[in-house]
Amino acid sequence: MRASATPPTGLRARKKAQVRRAIQEHALRLFLSKGYENTTVGEIATAAGVSHMTFFRNFPTKEAVVETDDYDPMIVRLIEQRPPDEDALTALRRALAQALETVYADDRDALLARTRLILATPALRARLWDNQYATERLFAQALAARRPEADVLRTRVLAAAALAALNIALTVWVDGQGAEDLPTLVDRAFEALHG
C-alpha cells in the first residue's frame, strides 16, 4: 500500500514502519470484504494484532489509515532532484513518472484497491479536497525550491494542473478496473496538458 520515500533506518523505525504497513494492509482487506462503513477500528486493530492505542498512535482516524502514504515525500524529493534547466511541468511529469514506476511495480493491486475505495466511499471522497490541497502545496514548494525566482501563481497552477492530470488518470484507471497501464494513462494525461 505504501512506497517508502526512504527506507526507515534503525530497528525501532523499521518496526514502526512494519506495524503501520500491517495495519494498513489489514484495514484495506477488511474494507474491501466488509465495506468501509461496516469496519471498525477495533476490527482493524485485532486483525493487525495491535491494540486500539497502537492503531491511534499510528493513525489519528480511520480515514487516515486509507489516506496516509509516503508518496508525496517521495515525489517532492524527485521534483527537487530534477535538473534545474528543466521547465516546471516537465519536472513534475518526470518526477511523477519515476515515482509511479516504483509504486506501480511494488504495489499496483493495493494502489488500485485503495484508489477504488477512496473514490467509492463518500467519507473518504469528501476528504480528498483537503489532501489534494496539501499535495498541491508540497509540489509547488518543491518547484519553488528549484527556481525561487519563478512566479508563485504560475508555479501553483502548474502543480495543480499536474495533480489534476494524475487524478484523472487514476480515475480512468479505476473506472476501467485497472485494465489499462496506469503509467501510460498518466503520460497521456500530461500530453493533454501540452496540447
Per-residue model confidence as pLDDT tens digits over 74-131: 999 999 999 989 999 999 999 999 999 988 888 899 899 999 999 999 989 988 888 8
Helix-helix angle 88-120:71-81, to 10 degrees:
170
Residue with cell 519536472: 91
pTM here is 0.84
Per-residue model confidence as pLDDT tens digits over 16-28: 889 999 999 999 9
Structural Rg of the chain based on CA atoms: 17
Per-residue model confidence as pLDDT tens digits over 43-60: 999 999 999 999 999 999
pLDDT above 70 covers a percentage of the chain that reads 95
